[in-house]
Chain A
């Protein structure tokens, strides 16, 4: 009788412990959250493309680079319109994101540039991409994501259809 009670209690404690453990893990938040990562499709012979995504930093981080099996070179770039001219530059010190900040890497601003693609990336493909950050205390943080490849010929941002009645977009 007693043994049965003890075993049941042990089981109960194990369950509680497991739940607590899982909950604890869930609450220990990753330093960054990546939302809606996508890569623009390419055509054969096209050597470069961009990856776009949103980064929410739960602590201050700097995006400094990345890695992907689909391209040997990954750089963090900024596109700027200077008057009527497009200027694109690799960010020499990466992209700093403050704690609690969300930064969108989107057409018209920042992007992750994938360079020297040996072959085209096609719509429907999932591109593995590791984003490398440095944290405030100088530690390196790698975040693995999967970016879906979206059509080259489509506007970057999802937009409502129906022509009339939506404002200008980039």
Chain B
């Protein structure tokens, strides 16, 4: 009789353990989680209409922040095209996915060019242009983003960090999305952030 109860108790413990593990076992994000990061808390930069935008403007949306430049024939169009695809995969939820593009080449990337360029992807994409070299430097430092002007043949190009920084709808920096990650994985991560309790 005693042994029977002991076995029952053991079974109950095992079942409890399994249930608890299953409940707390969430799949990890595809992107690198950087929750609690001390950097990249906010930005304050003029958009293509000259209005200063801050992270708080986008509360309630998942913000994907990307540093690039317009004369970039490969990486930047690819990253922006991926963001277009992410928005498409999200369906109706795509309205809460906000892409913010910051140029690291304000010398060449005027508001008109940035606006026209982003419109080719999605008119809802926000373009931010540091008004001077000092602001660019401060912003890049705040985000630990590397950028460097490099002469190439007749002109110059920009080396730059190609990571996309993703904020949750509460404005907290959560993910670092590498350039190589695909749209499907990116969309799944965004969907997860959008589904979190407000």
Contacts and interface: CB of A to CB of B under 8 A. Distances in A.
Given A47-B71, A73-B153, A168-B185, A40 B113 contact: no
A37 interface: no
12 contacts: A41-B120, A46-B70, A46-B117, A49-B73, A88-B157, A89-B150, A90-B152, A152-B120, A153-B120, A153-B121, A155-B85, A169-B183
B181 to A, nearest CB: 6
* A46, A49, A77, A79 — most chain B CB neighbours (10 Å): A46
Interface string A82-116: 00111111100000000000000001100101011
B78 A156 contact: yes
Contacts of A50: 73-74
B120 A75 contact: no
Contacts of A69: none
A154 interface: yes
Contacts, number: 132
Contact of B163 (A45, A84, A153): A84
A154 B74 contact: no
Contact of B73 (A40, A116, A168): A40
Nearest to A39: B73
A21 B55 CA distance: 71
A140 B34 CA distance: 52
9 smallest CB-CB distances across A and B, nearest first, come from A168-B182, A50-B73, A43-B116, A45-B113, A152-B120, A48-B71, A153-B121, A73-B154, A86-B75
